[in-house]
Amino acid sequence: MSVRRSVIIGTGSYLPQQVLTNADLAARIDTSDEWIQERTGIRRRHIAAAGEFTSDLGAEAARRALAAAGLTPNDIDLIVVATATPDQTFPAVATVIQHKLGMLHGVAFDVAAVCSGFLYALTVTDSLLQSGAHNRALVIGAETFSRLLDWEDRTTAVLFGDGAGAIVMEAQAQPGSTASDRGVLACRLHSDGRYNDLLHVDGGPGSTGTTGKLRMKGKEVFRHAVTNLSSVMGEVLEVASLTPADVAWVVPHQANLRILEATAKKLNLAPERVVVTVDSHANTSAASVPLALDVAVRDGRIQRGDLLLLEAMGGGFTWGAAAVRW
Ligand code: UT7
């Protein structure tokens, strides 16, 4: 019996040119390169230029993913963008990117789940491809998180950066075995609205009429992140009838190196199996998973047949994971 699965056939990413190092930050606020590296693993981050918007970052990542797949925008019938930093309150960034790619057909919309956004976008897209409603999709995580930061607040300003990552997903008939099929084998999402106060933006179009700034109680978020991520990673493996020993690469949301290491340890996954980009990208929210994926695909670490475990946790709280065979 064959099943319809969503296979990733191309990846791409884009980082703005301007690099902001820990030393640059230490010259502006009361922090140090040593503290940032020791507590987070971050060394530098990229910052979008004035006039460079989330849709610009996302469109460039999408062009690169299409080129990697050997396709043009004409071959795509769905665009799903995960972002918490849209160019405008509306319309969706996805429709802006649709226009920038010159597409006059198809469907484009955004999903909002902050740092888990890419896992949410991937899961929604997987359902739409499996249902037969669509055949080929661009799934994009794109953020200009630097614009949500209070640059006077050292507890958050040092943690985030800007960037975008994209994948092309195609519905393909596969034999129907999670032990060998390519594509998305299982995904699981969760949310719990009780924790708004621990990680949120203190403004919005429907409340203050302003964009607001990011506020986070980092220590508490850290604790929830390790618990929730290890739990959903275990859950998704169980749904796919797989075990941690089957995992070739963990491609995680890049919030903090200590979270990546603690989460992998809980599942008995060797740290060498975890793709780490937090050192050079910092936390790019919804862009971090597809950015890390593109890095590990292009440098040759990820090979055909490898089982990947994608995971993320963010504001809401929201969290999720996906098991994908390359
Ligand atoms: O993507 C969404 C999910 N987000 C996350 O997963 C973030 C999760 N949280 C974290 O990554 C960490 O909790 C942080 C990196 C945010 C903070 O690390 P921590 O080890 O939990 O430090 P802390 O908040 O307990 O702060 C320790 C000390 C404090 O000083 P006192 O009270 O001990 O005197 C802070 O004021 O470090 C101080 N501190 C800083 N010092 C220098 C906080 N930020 C800085 C800074 N530079 N930038």
Is pTM beyond 0.95? Reply is: yes
Q: Is the CB of residue 255 below 6 angstroms from any atom belonging to ligand 1?
A: yes
Specify whether 256 is located in the same domain as 210. Answer: yes
Residues annotated as catalytic (active site), given as ranges: 115, 253, 283
Measured over the CA atoms of residue 90, residue 91, residue 93 and residue 97, the dihedral's sign is negative
Q: Which two tokens stand for residue 299?
A: 């440098």
- For residue 248, which of 284, 272, 224, 218 has the smallest C-alpha distance? 272
Tokens coding 324: 């994908």
Same domain for 237 and 122?
no
Q: Is the CB of 167 within 6 Å of ligand 1?
A: no
* Whether residue 277 is found in the same domain as residue 163: no
- Give the Cα separation of 93 and 114 in Å (integer): 14
Q: Which residue, by CA, sits nearest to atom 42 of ligand 1?
A: 31
Q: Which residue among 174, 191, 210 closes a domain?
A: 174
Tell me the CA–centroid distance for residue 152 and ligand 1, in Å.
Answer: 14
85/166 same-domain check: yes
Question: What is the CA(69)–ligand 1 centre distance, in A?
Answer: 40
Ligand 1 pocket, 35 CB below 6 A?
A: yes
**Token representation of residue 283:** 């936390």
| Domain total in the chain | 2
How far apart are the C-alpha atoms of 276 and 260, rounded to whole Å?
8
20 and 149 assigned to the same domain: yes
Residues 41 and 132 in one domain: yes
Q: Cα 206 vs. chain centroid, distance in angstroms? A: 26
* Per-position pLDDT tens, the chain of length 326: 799 999 999 999 999 999 999 999 999 999 999 999 999 999 999 999 999 999 999 999 999 999 999 999 999 999 999 999 999 999 999 999 999 999 999 999 999 999 999 999 999 999 999 999 999 999 999 999 999 999 999 999 999 999 999 999 999 999 999 999 999 999 999 999 999 999 999 999 999 999 999 999 999 999 999 999 999 999 999 999 999 999 999 999 999 999 999 999 999 999 999 999 999 999 999 999 999 999 999 999 999 999 999 999 999 999 999 999 99
Question: Do 43 and 60 share a structural domain?
Answer: yes
User: How close is the Cα of 23 to the center of ligand 1, in Å?
Assistant: 17
157/264 same-domain check: no
Residues 187 and 170 grouped into a single domain: no
Contact of 162 with 291, CB cutoff 8 Å: no
- Residue 129 belongs to what domain range? 3-174
CA of 194 to the centre of ligand 1 (A): 22
Name the residue of 191, 219, 284 whose CB sits within 8 Å of the most ligand 1 atoms, as the mutation to test its pocket. 219
Q: Are residues 156 and 9 in the same domain?
A: yes
Q: Answer with the one of 174, 204, 230 that is the final residue of a domain.
A: 174
- Report the separation in Å between the CA atom of 242 and the middle of ligand 1, taken as the mean of its atom positions: 35
In this structure, the answer to whether residues 156 and 49 fall within a common structural domain is yes
pLDDT for the residue numbered 133: 97
Q: Is the CB of 195 under 6 A from ligand 1?
A: no
Does residue 158 have its Cβ closer than 6 Å to ligand 1?
yes
Looking at ligand 1, which atom is closest to the CA of residue 221?
8
Residues 6+ positions from 115 with CB-CB distance below 8 Å: 253, 255, 283, 285, 286, 288, 312, 313, 314, 315, 318
CATH assignment at residue 299 = 3.40.47.10
**Boundary (domain end) residue, out of 139, 174, 209:** 174
Which residues, at least 6 apart from 32, have a Cβ–Cβ distance to it below 8 Å?
A: 22, 26
Q: Phi, psi (5° rounding) for residue 144?
A: -120, 65
With a 6 Å cutoff on the Cβ, whether 116 touches ligand 1 is: no
Judge if 160 and 25 occupy the same domain.
Answer: yes
CA proximity to 226, closest of 288, 319, 159:
319
